[in-house]
Amino acid sequence: MKTLALLVAASLSLSFGVACGSGGSSESSTDAGQGGAGAGGTSGTGGSSASGGSGGSGGSGGSGGSGGSVACPNCQQAGAECGFFTNACDETRNCGDCPNGETCGGDGVPNKCSCTPKTCAALGAECGNPSDGCSGTATCGGCQAPETCGGAGTPFKCGCTPKSCSQLGKDCGTTDDGCGGSISCGTCVAPASCGGGGTPNVCGCTPTTCAAVGVQCGSYPDGCGGTLTCAGCTGTNWCGGSGTPNQCGCTSSATAGPSSPKLGAANASIGTRQWSNPGNIVAADSSVAQISAMVGGEISQYLVASNFGFQIPSFATITGIQVEWRRGALSGVGLKDHAIRIVKGSTILATDKSAAGTWGTALSYASYGGPGDLWGSTWTAADVNSADFGAALSVRYDTAGNDWPRVDHARVTVYFTVACQ
- 104 forms beta bridges with 113
Share of the chain above pLDDT 90, in %: 72
pLDDT higher than 80, residue 31: no
pLDDT band at 20 (very low <50, low <70, confident <90, very high): very low
pLDDT higher than 90, residue 195: yes
Lowest mean pLDDT among 56-60, 112-116, 204-208: 56-60
- 86 forms beta bridges with 92
The mean per-residue pLDDT over the stretch 194-204 comes to 94
Lowest mean pLDDT among 2-11, 86-95, 256-265, 310-319: 2-11
Distance CA(351)–CA(25), nearest Å, equals 140
| CATH entry, 256-417, from 3.40.1000, 2.60.120, 3.30.70, 2.40.128 | 2.60.120
Mean pLDDT over all residues of the chain? Answer: 85
CB atoms within 10 A of CB 7: 8
Question: Which of 408, 91, 413, 396 shows the shortest CA–CA distance to 279?
Answer: 408
pLDDT higher than 60, residue 34: no
Amino acid of residue 394 = S
The mean per-residue pLDDT over the stretch 14-25 comes to 36
Q: What is the pLDDT of residue 232?
A: 83
Taking only the tens place, the pLDDT of each residue in 296-350 is 999 999 999 999 999 899 999 999 999 999 999 999 989 999 999 999 999 999 9
Taking only the tens place, the pLDDT of each residue in 125-157 is 999 999 998 878 999 999 999 999 999 999 999
Domain boundary assignment for the chain? 67-112, 184-231, 256-417
Tell me the backbone φ, ψ of residue 5, rounded to 5 degrees. -60, -40
Concatenating the DSSP letter of every residue in 63-106 gives ----S--SSS--HHHHT--SSEEE-TTS-EEE---PPTT-EETT
Helix (H, G, I), strand (E, B) or coil at 262: coil
Distance CA(78)–CA(310), nearest Å, equals 114
Higher pLDDT, 19 or 71: 71
Torsion, Cα 177 179 181 186, to 10 degrees, reads -10
Taking only the tens place, the pLDDT of each residue in 241-281 is 888 989 999 999 999 999 999 999 999 999 999 999 999 99
Concatenating the DSSP letter of every residue in 263-274 gives EEEEETTS-SBP
